[in-house]
Chains A and B, each alone.
Chain A
């Protein structure tokens, strides 16, 4: 479990300039020269990236750099002004199916219990939708199993206002992945939580990811969070947002709270911090 502490960190270069060479296996998400303009304002410029199946990616950058825009583009909620986006080997032309999303605001439905909130995607997405009558018990069990993984096993029948902020966010994560999406999009999901709860939830998220092996895209401004959770961190520039660096995180899984004291971890965080500072100062 703590093997990564014994292993000597081997990483020739913390962050590599973006290379255009691509792996042979088709990626889960592929963006080629994607730009987005809101009116005259260029929000995102020439984004090119590949995200492999099962990879967990974090996008960091100064606020207002188009991180959330990137998310909306990948899921097809916004059409790009230029460039091509592929998800799961298909060109994205409208809202993609089979992705999960979670935001900073948990947006649980206040009239539904935790179980019923997590159940919502199962009532909408096939093949679960057609079972939602006949196999209600089975689906409830599926929800219960997931709630137990995130530590909400005893809170299934509570209403959202009876849960703390951290618990609501756990339920929100469950709702985002209950239908076993291929892609999970997270837009600063832990930004409003206190430091302890946040680190708890990093753990929860990593457990879920190792359990379901979805492809993950996490948008955050918390560098420690990005490095802790991601396989690859992308650094974005000020508006118009450009992807400046791509940084592979060589830390072993599962990462544990002790990992945050690992010199490799702190080294990467500091390196990224310096890069972002440079970006913010306009260099």
Chain B
């Protein structure tokens, strides 16, 4: 019941905001090329639905491919960094240095190396989103209690057994927490790349729409990215709930 009330409240606030926006546009006669009214955005979205669908599917595809590569690379690097102090010492400072570079600044380089279109979008989505996964997986692996390590060593557990039976399950909640951050970053990565060097995708669509002062269409793009991003976030939460329900239950206790 309280969940229902909370949800209703969130929707109400969203609608109230849209209503204020709509009224402000109409009463203050704000020109469409500065701030289009929500109804106008809806109208344009419907009008350009085919184009928008094509471009948003492209963005979704590049984002997801980049995201999945980031998961695989992130977990592998995270396991390497988290389970060996030699790798940790040699790799971790490099990773931090790499992460502090603004990725937008690297996109032109990625474009030079990989051309324009789909590939740089995937690469940018990957590059921008893998770092939080590495850090969280490494942190999660390191969070195993020293007593537990002693117990396992005395039992004669191999490194692989320790990882599979204790460290990795222990790191899973950390992994999922990072995935929620990573998926939104991946969207940013592919849209930025599309804006700079692509003829497809929501980023490209928004750039070309704004250069023609089709501001309502730009807003359509923004809203579609937001919806896709929220949807992926929600999927991450659902998977998380299923996979590591124990981490949530123990908080409730």
Interface residues of A (CB under 8 A from B): 72, 75, 77, 95-97, 99-101, 103, 105, 107, 109-111, 120-121, 123-125, 159-162, 175-176, 179, 185
Contacts and interface: CB of A to CB of B under 8 A. Distances in A.
Taking chain B's interface residues, is the majority helix, strand, or loop, or is none over half, making it mixed?
helix
B51 interface: no
B175 to A, nearest CB: 13
B246 A101 contact: no
B247 A123 contact: no
B246 A111 contact: yes
Contacts of B148: 107, 109
Interface string B152-169: 111111000100011001
In the complex, which range does the number of interface residues on chain B fall in? 20 to 34
Given A107-B148, A124-B161, A77 B246 contact: no
A75 B154 contact: yes
Contact of A111 (B153, B157, B244): B244
Nearest to A121: B155
Given A103-B147, A105-B145, A110 B153 contact: no
A100 B154 contact: yes
B247 A107 contact: no
Interface of B: 145, 147-148, 150-157, 161, 165-166, 169-170, 244, 246-247, 249-250, 253
Nearest to A111: B246
A179 B157 CA distance: 13
A124 B150 contact: no
Nearest to A99: B154
A95 B244 CA distance: 32
Given A109-B166, A110-B247, A124 B152 contact: yes
In the A-B complex, list the 10 residue pairs whose CB atoms are closest, starting with the nearest. Answer: A161-B253, A161-B250, A111-B246, A103-B147, A95-B153, A107-B148, A124-B155, A97-B156, A124-B157, A99-B154
Contacts of A103: 147, 150-151
Contacts of A99: 154
A101 B150 contact: yes
Given A107-B145, A107-B147, A124-B161, A77 B154 contact: yes
Contacts of A179: 155
A125 B157 CA distance: 8
A190 B154 CA distance: 21
A97 B151 CA distance: 11
Given A159-B246, A161-B250, A109 B155 contact: no
A77 B145 contact: no
Contacts of A111: 169, 244, 246-247
A75 B161 CA distance: 20
Contact of B154 (A96, A110, A161, A162): A96
Contact of A120 (B147, B150, B165, B170): B165
